[in-house]
């Protein structure tokens, strides 16, 4: 494991060894069985290329009315609990006394990407967003708290954990592309990113 910081974002490279990654993935299989992946549209009607689901009290949702947290899966069921294996990662790196209320699960396949955005739909910015990467490498771009300006990228690999907290809690960030086939962790390839958030 090595820790680095880029534009205020702490990255614990290789925090999760292959056994820990496999254990989280096994727990995610039961999350996805209860709460299958779905594809959201922006308020402008464009489909997101990333498929999503969630665990915890809240999941994230987007439609013509905009972005928000919701307490049910689109099928009407409550979200499954956040697995202990994932909670442990929060405990290890968040430095936050509160527990996450949402574990957003993003599935990137093929050419899926995520445009530059801020995570700002949460009520308490004192708590960080903790991001866990599983599967193929992804080019993570980090900008500034304000829109625009200089930005820098780094490759996130399977088992890396990034923490957006403190002055970097509201930085713009996104995923430009994947290095498809760089990992064999996921059946069918691609990448899963988990973000743990305190919502209320």
Positions that interact with Mn ion (CB under 5 A)? 119
Two tokens at 148? 């625009």
Two tokens at 122? 């949460």
Q: Among Mn ion, ligand SIN, none, what binds residue 140 when CB lies within 5 to 8 Å by partner kind?
A: ligand SIN
Please, what is the minimum distance in Å from the beta carbon of residue 37 to ligand SIN? 14
List the one residue from 103, 107, 175, 199 that touches ligand SIN (CB under 6 A). Answer: 175
Verify binding: residue 140, ligand SIN, rule CB under 6 A: yes
Q: Among ligand SIN, Mn ion, none, what binds residue 51 when CB lies within 5 to 8 Å by partner kind?
A: none
Please, what is the minimum distance in Å from the beta carbon of residue 81 to Mn ion? 22
Verify binding: residue 193, ligand SIN, rule CB under 6 A: yes
The residue count of the chain comes to: 200
CA pair distance 171, 120, nearest whole angstrom: 10
List the one residue from 195, 197, 198, 199 that touches ligand SIN (CB under 6 A). Answer: 195
SS3 for 29? Answer: helix
Please, what is the minimum distance in Å from the beta carbon of residue 188 to ligand SIN? 17
* Nearest residue to the partner ligand SIN, using Cβ: 193
Verify binding: residue 53, ligand SIN, rule CB under 6 A: no
Write the CB contacts of 195 (distance below 8 Å, at least 6 apart in sequence): 102, 103, 104, 106, 119, 129, 130, 131, 132
User: CB atoms < 10 A from the CB of 34, how many?
Assistant: 15
Verify binding: residue 158, ligand SIN, rule CB under 6 A: no
Is-contact 79 59, C-beta < 8 A?
yes
Residue 42 burial class via C-beta count within 10 angstroms: exposed 0-12, middle 13-18, buried 19 and up: middle
**Chain residues in the site for ligand SIN (CB under 6 A):** 106, 114, 131, 138, 140, 173, 175, 193, 195
């Amino acid at each position: 494991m090595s820790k680095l910081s880029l534009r205020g974002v702490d990255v614990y490279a290789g925090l999760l060894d292959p056994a820990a990654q496999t254990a989280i993935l096994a727990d995610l299989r039961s999350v996805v069985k209860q709460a299958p992946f779905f594809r959201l549209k922006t308020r402008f009607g464009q489909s997101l290329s990333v498929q999503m689901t969630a665990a915890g009290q809240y999941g994230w949702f987007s439609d013509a009315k905009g972005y928000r947290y919701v307490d049910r899966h689109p099928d009407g069921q409550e979200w499954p609990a956040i697995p202990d294996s994932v909670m442990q990662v929060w405990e290890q790196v968040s430095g936050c006394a509160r527990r996450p209320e949402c574990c957003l699960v993003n599935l990137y396949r093929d050419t899926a990407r995520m445009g530059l955005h801020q995570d700002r739909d949460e009520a308490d910015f004192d708590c960080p967003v903790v991001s866990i990467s599983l599967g193929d490498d992804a080019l993570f771009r980090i900008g500034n708290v304000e829109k625009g300006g200089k930005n820098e990228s780094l490759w996130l690999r399977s088992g890396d954990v990034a923490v957006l907290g403190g002055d970097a809690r509201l930085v713009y960030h996104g995923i430009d592309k994947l290095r498809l086939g760089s990992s064999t962790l996921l059946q069918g390839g691609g990448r899963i990113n988990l973000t743990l958030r305190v919502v209320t």
